[in-house]
Amino acid sequence: MATATYTVKGMTCGHCVSSVKEEVGEVSGVTSVEVDLASGLLTVESDSPVDAAEIVAAVEEAGYEVAGQS
């Protein structure tokens, strides 16, 4: 199991959270997606490490920006 955390900018409501969760959840290998609206933190769990570029692309597809990864 691999876990990665990203900071997402631009989310302002529950719909924003849902959009990000839906897009990131469609990335191959992702098993769990948690989004904290207040902090902007996106936590992604997967069976094996997922390419960060795929996560960033999914967030951008949802209409938001990744400000960083930890």
Q: In sequence order, what DSSP letters do the residues of the chain get, joined into one string?
A: -EEEEEEEES--SHHHHHHHHHHHHTSTTEEEEEEETTTTEEEEEESS---HHHHHHHHHHTT-EEEEE-
The residues that bridge with 2 in the sheet, in sequence order, are 46
Looking at residue 70, its pLDDT comes to 81
Q: What is the mean pLDDT of residues 42-66?
A: 97
Greater confidence (68 vs 21) lies with 21
Is the Cβ–Cβ distance between 58 and 64 less than 8 Å?
Answer: no
Name the architecture of domain 2-69: 2-Layer Sandwich (3.30)
Domain range summary for the chain, segments of one domain joined by +: 2-69
**pTM of this structure:** 0.94
Mean pLDDT computed over every residue of the chain: 96
Backbone angles phi, psi at 26, to 5 degrees: -85, -10
Looking at residue 21, its pLDDT comes to 98
Looking at residue 36, its pLDDT comes to 98
